[in-house]
Amino acid sequence: MNQNLINQIINEFKSKENYIGEDLPKFSDKNYQPIKISKDNFHSIKEITSNRNIAFIDGGNAELLRASNFSLHFIRLYAVIYKDNKRVKAEKKEFYCLVNSFEDKDEIHYKAKLFNKPDFIDENDLIFSSFDKTIVNGINRAEVSKIGSVVRRFSELGFAKEIIINLNKDDVIVLDGNLQSTVTNENKYLNNLYVKAEEKNVIVSAFCKTSTLLTEKGMPIPPLLSRLSNIDESWYYHPLVNINSSNHKAEMYFTKLNKSSSYVFRYELYKNNEYDINEILSLLKENSKDPMFRGYPYGLIEADRFARVSNNEKEQLKLRLMISLGKENKELMSYLNTTNAHDVLDGMWKG
């Protein structure tokens, strides 16, 4: 790419209007009632001493084998509990998920079978039409690989429910992501988590790494809030929207957890919990001082690190599978070759 073309692209970025005045968040669903963004809705996070435990939960998955009619995933879940900003307990679970296609009433469906299955997930919830509107890819049927990520999400929610046994009244769970149900059967796992949490008065929340929310003028909300804020310390923004959806029982906040950070994150709490938002954010603030990523909770960094399946680990697992299959490799390869042409081409140009 020549410099003139680069300059044209940069100038196009600069020509866009970066509106930083008051604006309305944009939601397409009528169950979301936006509230005008205003400087009056910024609040400083006051430091509060708290003896609450806070549990961080994340999951990772790697697709080991894939054809047009099946997909094999390795899934890992990790939970870590902190108190007084020190790790007091950690737990990990691992299992395999094989998704196969089958025909039912003249339509292709997908069904997942779990190996070393955790007790908190029901395989009956893992049967989907390939044209289920919550997983399809545009006008095309969903790819079989999609189900692996769905299983991981359901498992994270089930694992969070299981972790509650290690928590006390007013302790906090922090999931990676949000509290919105977007896939068939997902609401079952969210509601089961909420019921168990309410029994012990445990607070359920979720912390989003990324946010795609825009205002009516097309501005991303985190940088807009960052520019509007006149608070020279950690802060949170609320209210932004009133949510009246059975699929999203949450109160939504945006927060900057470290004054030296350039990141503003979306944070959600189960709306039926009773909580002091300042105390909870003060806990998260204390956990967000790691110089590697100031403003992001270290508990989530740890959960991501130990739940993540590295490319090297993925390749080792694939190799063990292929060796174990032995003479059946040839027949298996005929299935794998239906989807792996891109991988072959990528391999030709490595190095």
Each residue of 279-320: pLDDT tens digit? Answer: 999 999 999 999 989 999 999 999 999 999 999 999 999 888
Going by C-alpha positions, the residue among 161, 221, 218 that lies closest to residue 190 is 161
Alpha carbon dihedral 71, 77, 150, 221, in 10-degree steps, equals -130
Tell me the whole-structure pTM to 2 decimals. 0.92
pLDDT digits (tens, 9 = 90+) for 141-167: 999 999 999 999 999 999 999 999 999
Class of 43-307 per CATH?
A: alpha beta
Beta strands in 105-225 (DSSP E): 107-115, 127-129, 172-176, 203-208
In 3D, which of 43, 37, 25 has the Cα closest to residue 228?
A: 37
Question: What's the pLDDT at 95?
Answer: 98
Work out the pLDDT band at 345, boundaries 50, 70, 90. very low
What integer is the mean pLDDT of 36-44? 95
Query: What DSSP letter does each residue of 279-298 carry, written as one string?
Result: HHHHHHHHT---TTSTTS-H
Tokens found for residue 167 = 């928590």
In this predicted structure, what is the pLDDT of residue 324? Answer: 76
> For residue 176, what pLDDT is reported?
97
Banded pLDDT at 39 (limits 50, 70, 90): very high
DSSP E strand stretches across the chain = 32-34, 42-44, 53-66, 70-83, 86-104, 107-115, 127-129, 172-176, 203-208, 235-237, 241-243, 250-256, 265-270
Q: How far is CA 245 from CA 241, 248, 266, in A?
A: 12, 5, 18
> What are the distances in angstroms from CA 137 to CA 181, 205, 259, 282?
18, 29, 40, 40
